[in-house]
A and B are shown apart, each in its own frame.
Chain A
């Protein structure tokens, strides 16, 4: 524990180097821009900007990329409140009360509340990461192939059980990801598979291309369909409003704490920031005394989803750095970055790459503080970006998507694949197939398969290896519970209802 604190301070020293601080500011600014622009989000924004970091040290690179992520998380709130356009899926719930507040002329208050609660949520999650991640990592060091596979199993099952999309669509999308990830060289036997003689398929499908295509190009096509035009409220944010709002916020400490907990829970289990924000908003609406006024511009309706979304978005990095299992597509892209910089994600990071891990954790603290200052001072500037017409922004986003896709492997065929993924993303999204599980499956496919096959190899092909030790059996059981959670929940409510009916009958 003490050693960890020492490491953390060392991390702060690394982050405080002028070069890294400059990258941090650059990352936050780019991130907010990415978060504000339609068609660009945390995941594909980082994927596109990943090549900029190829010539940096891994620590500087992760500082810049994670700051893009914090920036994107902050940026989503600006468009939700001022323009009623959620820049990111996790800021949809922020529009419910944020936009009405802006219409009532309280845009400044809403923005301050949103940014501050984002900051609180993120800070809470970072503290959780600081305390829990080293423990999880040291625990996970003992894991063999069956345990590793069971962790993946749990992660993917939670996706099916917790997603609001139809379960079989989630399964189809996820398994499609595994299948796409399996194309190319088989890691274990060195054999080529499912390439059908096409040399372009030898390297398989890179998930970064998938991310840029599915989320970037697909999103632009969707935006185009809606014929987007921005009509927004003016952004005025002066220190007086900020201080006044800050004076009000401590009143909602209970709400904040609850939202933090919801966010962390949803972020660590791979449900992600979007359901966390909705859940937090829903619960706040039910519990709050002013719940019936939610939707008309209540400050609590901004605090709840923003806190939870940031707590979830941040804590999604916990399983990524401690287990190598990303909790969200954005975390998956960061994990892909680690692989490109030559680091092996997972528990070993904590023992072998101390500088890197603690630099990352320290940058989470610093990045969120710097981010809060930047967004509070530069809102009008960022809002102005949204006033640039879509006919100018759209081709520029397309160009950056293409550059991002090309630089992954310096391959123009990848750019073509990006467009194919974009078209697929448009149709999948419109027919309610969730995209996040597919992306995570492409990233983790190789490792999950390796874990699975190595376990089977050890057990001579018997599936019982996944029930052989209490630890594996527990994780697998949790996975099955997560998988069938909707059914279990249904049965529970039905049972409760029938008990009540029995009581009523008596």
Chain B
């Protein structure tokens, strides 16, 4: 990760740019926090400090520390460090995308079906397992989970059309 290269651009986004991005993003959150606090009032009411009092100063401190962090990044010399190589980022993305799809599918398909599909997909895609094994694990894990949560520990999980058909 700490390999140095001459120019940032080819191998991956520079560490410096990501640092700046993170600092700016946190600062934006702080601004939203300040705005939200002002909406409910940051002053002093008859019954004591108002609801926005504490979050206002907290957001203010965030803003100040972001300014310091940003200044430190910008004043440091360009060392050409890469945040991560593109192929590394591609790998991160290849996990992240299925995860996002999985999470968005849960309200519609229920958690068991979505989980089974995710596991089978992962094993087939990254592990290059035979379909039979991938589907086998993809079925076994949700079934085990079902017994563990719904039957033994009595914790209900989101269910979809399939569970409805099966009568749960």
User: CB within 8 A of A169: which of B32, B39, B69, B127?
Assistant: B69
Residues 12-30 of chain B: 1 if any A CB is under 8 Å from the residue's CB, otherwise 0?
0001001100110010011
Chain A binding surface SS class: helix
Whether, in the assembled complex, A227 has its beta carbon less than 8 Å from a beta carbon of chain B, the answer is yes
Cross-chain contact A391 with B126 (CB below 8 angstroms): yes
User: CB within 8 A of A217: which of B39, B48, B99?
Assistant: B99
What are the residues of chain B within 8 A of A183 when measuring CB–CB? 36
Whether, in the assembled complex, B107 has its beta carbon less than 8 Å from a beta carbon of chain A, the answer is yes
Looking across the interface, which residue of chain A has its beta carbon closest to that of B68? A168
**Band of interface residues on A:** 35 or more
How far does the alpha carbon of A390 sit from the alpha carbon of B119 in the complex, in Å? 11
Residues 105-137 of chain B: 1 if any A CB is under 8 Å from the residue's CB, otherwise 0?
011000100010011011101110100000001
User: CB within 8 A of A394: which of B29, B66, B84, B95?
Assistant: B95
How far does the alpha carbon of A189 sit from the alpha carbon of B44 in the complex, in Å? 12
How far does the alpha carbon of A433 sit from the alpha carbon of B19 in the complex, in Å? 10
Cross-chain contact B84 with A391 (CB below 8 angstroms): no
**Band of interface residues on B:** 35 or more
Whether, in the assembled complex, B80 has its beta carbon less than 8 Å from a beta carbon of chain A, the answer is no
Would you list which residues of chain A between 418 and 477 have a CB under 8 Å from chain B?
A: 418-419, 422-423, 426-428, 430-431, 433, 449, 452-453, 456-457, 461
What are the residues of chain B within 8 A of A55 when measuring CB–CB? 153-155
How far does the alpha carbon of A428 sit from the alpha carbon of B23 in the complex, in Å? 10
What are the residues of chain A within 8 A of B92 when measuring CB–CB? 221, 224-225, 426
Cross-chain contact B49 with A457 (CB below 8 angstroms): yes
Q: A175-B61, A402-B102, A453-B48 are in contact. Are A193 and B95 (CB under 8 A)?
A: no
What are the residues of chain A within 8 A of B125 when measuring CB–CB? 391
Whether, in the assembled complex, A144 has its beta carbon less than 8 Å from a beta carbon of chain B, the answer is no
Chain B binding surface SS class: helix
Cross-chain contact A406 with B54 (CB below 8 angstroms): no
User: CB within 8 A of A166: which of B69, B95, B156?
Assistant: B69
Cross-chain contact A399 with B33 (CB below 8 angstroms): no
What are the residues of chain A within 8 A of B36 when measuring CB–CB? 183, 193-196
Whether, in the assembled complex, A293 has its beta carbon less than 8 Å from a beta carbon of chain B, the answer is no
What are the residues of chain A within 8 A of B123 when measuring CB–CB? 391-392, 395
Cross-chain contact A391 with B51 (CB below 8 angstroms): no
Cross-chain contact B29 with A403 (CB below 8 angstroms): no
User: CB within 8 A of B158: which of A51, A54, A220, A412?
Assistant: A412
What are the residues of chain B within 8 A of A391 when measuring CB–CB? 122-123, 125-127, 129
How far does the alpha carbon of A186 sit from the alpha carbon of B142 in the complex, in Å? 39
What are the residues of chain B within 8 A of A370 when measuring CB–CB? none
Cross-chain contact A179 with B55 (CB below 8 angstroms): yes
What are the residues of chain A within 8 A of B127 when measuring CB–CB? 389, 391-392
User: CB within 8 A of A412: which of B15, B52, B69, B106?
Assistant: B106
What are the residues of chain B within 8 A of A193 when measuring CB–CB? 36-37, 39-40, 51-52, 55
Residues 74-107 of chain B: 1 if any A CB is under 8 Å from the residue's CB, otherwise 0?
0000000001100011011011100110111011
Cross-chain contact A172 with B69 (CB below 8 angstroms): yes
List the 8 shortest-distance A-B pairs measured between CB atoms, nearest first. A391-B127, A194-B36, A395-B122, A391-B126, A186-B51, A182-B55, A457-B48, A172-B65
Residues of B within 8 A of A (CB): 15, 18-19, 22-23, 26, 29-30, 32-33, 36-37, 39-40, 44-45, 47-55, 58-59, 61-62, 65-66, 68-69, 72, 83-84, 88-89, 91-92, 94-96, 99-100, 102-104, 106-107, 111, 115, 118-119, 121-123, 125-127, 129, 137, 141-142, 145, 148-149, 153-158
